[in-house]
Amino acid sequence: MPRAAAANAPEDLGAREKILREATRLFAERGFEGTSLRDLADAVGLQKGSLVYHFETKENIREAVLEALIDRWKDIVPQIVLTATTGENRFERTIAESTRFFSEDPNRARFLLRECLDHPAELQARVEQLSPWLGLLADRIKQGQKEGIIHRDVDPLVYVWGVVLATIATMAVTGMAAGIIGPERTEERIQTELIRIARTSLFIEPASKGANA
Amino acid sequence: MPRAAAANAPEDLGAREKILREATRLFAERGFEGTSLRDLADAVGLQKGSLVYHFETKENIREAVLEALIDRWKDIVPQIVLTATTGENRFERTIAESTRFFSEDPNRARFLLRECLDHPAELQARVEQLSPWLGLLADRIKQGQKEGIIHRDVDPLVYVWGVVLATIATMAVTGMAAGIIGPERTEERIQTELIRIARTSLFIEPASKGANA
DNA sequence: CCTACCGATCGGTAGG
DNA sequence: CCTACCGATCGGTAGG
């Protein structure tokens, strides 16, 4: 019986994970303030007292969801940086890997975007933990500038931040775009154009695929 | 005394506008569900019963805030389209005008972004009303493609949607960026890079200022 | 993990 | 536009 925070008995993991999964979805769709413990308990199939048993407070559930999301993100970032520095088609593969995390579950993007709005200071501190990794990507861009294959007037860190933010925002509201750009192949067209903008605004000349150092 | 929706007596405009102004701010900062009628009444300096007297329901306040925001946006869009089709430095001036509406009050961007998350279907319908204007911008891009000054592989509508969304998202979380890209000239650097990305990914060659048709 | 229950606050009404 | 008040729901507690 996990009365405190850290414990995790065998059967317990299932319950905690189920709660976190449904909480991610509901917080993403309706927001933290728009989701009651009752809503969440119903979605999981428990009584709300049981949620308190596992997490003590609603606020703790929010933090656990954020923590789990950022942990999964951290697992992926090193791989992204590696992709950005080795092999062929680096750029396309880097963007694709960055996008996948959010495109495979847009609720991650929605939850993160809501957190940016609800708790900007906390999110800023979290994102600063990723600074070293973003710095590595920025260094790659600086190197490309010296090599003459990347536009000299790119602001490397701002560019990286812009691409990350644009990816999250695009994925978060992906459903809305259909009304403007038409219902056919909406997601694919957005994805393609996002990559095109990111590539064309970065590299100097050969915009065709496979042309990156 | 305006008992119904449409009325507006002389002294009444002041109260309604005050309520809408504080509601925009609070909904932007804390979200609709995170703002109680009590919070709003305190901010305006009234009793919450008085808010109900003016708007009948909390939901009506949300709709009035959205309506007011979109009305102000609609006033600006035609001017933006005009700028995009005449005069020198069209591109820079077009982006600058598009950005100003949100940069002069980031709470507009925050509220709109929250609405996109809270009520995607409703926002989609609203944005569709702007479709003709966005279509005009897309037409300008298509013309530029024929003239050979804009990349042929640009997806015009998706590009326009992407720039609008990136602008709103950037302005909405502008405070967070300082943690990543440093505290100096943060906003200016973001603005500059956003314009650079938009310009470079659109025009084929002469990226220097003043070079647009 | 459930049942029963708590004070506080919610949006909204009534009456003036 | 205020005062007084309503039932419903909120997050959380107690006890098992």
Q: Which residue is nearest to nucleotide C9 (CA to C1')?
A: B36
Q: Tell me how far apart the alpha carbons of residues A212 and A94 are, in angstroms, rounded to a whole number.
A: 12
User: Is A175 within 8 Å of B151 when comparing Cβ atoms?
Assistant: no
How does DSSP classify residue A119? -
Q: By percentage, how much of chain A surpasses pLDDT 90?
A: 75
Tell me if B120 sits within 8 A of A176, measured CB to CB.
yes
| Residue numbers in A near B189 (CB within 8 A) | 155, 158
The pLDDT tens digits for A4-23 are 444 444 455 689 999 999 99
Residue range B124-139: average pLDDT? Answer: 92
CA of B27 to C1' of C7 (A): 27
For residue A156, pLDDT over 90 is answered with: yes
For residue B92, pLDDT over 50 is answered with: yes
How does DSSP classify residue A105? -
Closest partner CB to B128 (pick from A30, A170, A180): A180
Across A50-54, A118-122, B159-163, B176-180, least confident range: B176-180
Q: Tell me how far apart the alpha carbons of residues A177 and A189 are, in angstroms, rounded to a whole number.
A: 10
Tell me if B181 sits within 8 A of A157, measured CB to CB.
yes
User: Is B117 within 8 Å of A118 when comparing Cβ atoms?
Assistant: no
Cβ-based neighbour number of residue B116 at 10 Å: 23
Position B12 scores a pLDDT of: 58
Chain-centroid distance of CA B117 in Å reads 15
Closest partner CB to A127 (pick from B155, B159, B176): B176
Q: Tell me how far apart the alpha carbons of residues A204 and A200 are, in angstroms, rounded to a whole number.
A: 7
φ, ψ of residue B150 in degrees (nearest 5): -120, 140
User: Is B165 within 8 Å of A166 when comparing Cβ atoms?
Assistant: yes
How does DSSP classify residue A131? H
Q: Which residue is nearest to nucleotide D2 (CA to C1')?
A: B47
Q: Tell me how far apart the alpha carbons of residues B144 and A114 are, in angstroms, rounded to a whole number.
A: 37
The pLDDT tens digits for A21-42 are 999 999 999 999 999 999 999 9
Tell me if B172 sits within 8 A of B105, measured CB to CB.
no
User: Which of B115, B133, B181 should one mutate to test binding to chain A, selecting the residue with the greatest count of A CBs within 10 A?
Assistant: B181
* Angstrom distances, CA of residue A98 to CA of A37, A66, A112, A121, A199: 33, 18, 15, 24, 14
How far apart are the CA of A209 and the nearest CA of chain B, in angstroms? 13
Q: At which residue do the structure tokens 């002069």 appear? A: B104
Position A208 scores a pLDDT of: 44
The CA-based diameter of chain B, rounded to the nearest angstrom, is 62
Is the minimum CB–CB distance between A42 and chain B shorter than 8 Å? no
One-letter amino acid for residue B147 of the chain = E
How many degrees, rounded to 5, is the angle at CA A144 between CA A141 and CA A150?
85
User: Is A158 within 8 Å of B127 when comparing Cβ atoms?
Assistant: no
Cβ-based neighbour number of residue B74 at 10 Å: 12
User: Which of A122, A165, A199 should one mutate to test binding to chain B, selecting the residue with the greatest count of B CBs within 10 A?
Assistant: A165
The CA-based diameter of chain A, rounded to the nearest angstrom, is 62
Position A7 scores a pLDDT of: 43
How far apart are the CA of A10 and the nearest CA of chain B, in angstroms? 36
Structure tokens that stand for B155 in this block = 């997806």
User: Which of A128, A180, A190, A203 should one mutate to test binding to chain B, selecting the residue with the greatest count of B CBs within 10 A?
Assistant: A180
For residue B11, pLDDT over 50 is answered with: yes
* Cβ neighbours of residue A6 closer than 8 Å, sequence gap 6 or more: none
Tell me if B200 sits within 8 A of A200, measured CB to CB.
yes
CB contact residues (below 8 A), chain A span 171-210, against chain B: 172-173, 175-182, 189-190, 192-194, 196-198, 200-201, 207
The pLDDT tens digits for B50-64 are 999 999 999 999 999
pLDDT band at A179 (very low <50, low <70, confident <90, very high): confident
Residue range A184-213: average pLDDT? Answer: 80
For residue A85, pLDDT over 70 is answered with: yes
For residue B178, pLDDT over 70 is answered with: yes
Closest partner CB to B158 (pick from A159, A172, A189): A189
Tell me if A55 sits within 8 A of A61, measured CB to CB.
yes
| Residue numbers in A near B109 (CB within 8 A) | none
Tell me if A156 sits within 8 A of A138, measured CB to CB.
yes
Q: What is the mean pLDDT of chain A?
A: 90
| Residue numbers in B near A32 (CB within 8 A) | 34
SS (H, E, C) B114-178: HHHHHCHHHHHHHHHCCHHHHHHHHHHHHHHHHHCCECCCCCHHHHHHHHHHHHHHHHHCHHHHH
Q: Tell me how far apart the alpha carbons of residues B18 and B118 are, in angstroms, rounded to a whole number.
A: 24
Is the minimum CB–CB distance between A30 and chain B shorter than 8 Å? yes
Asked whether residue B48, judged by its CB, lies under 7 Å from any atom of the DNA or RNA strand C, the reply is yes
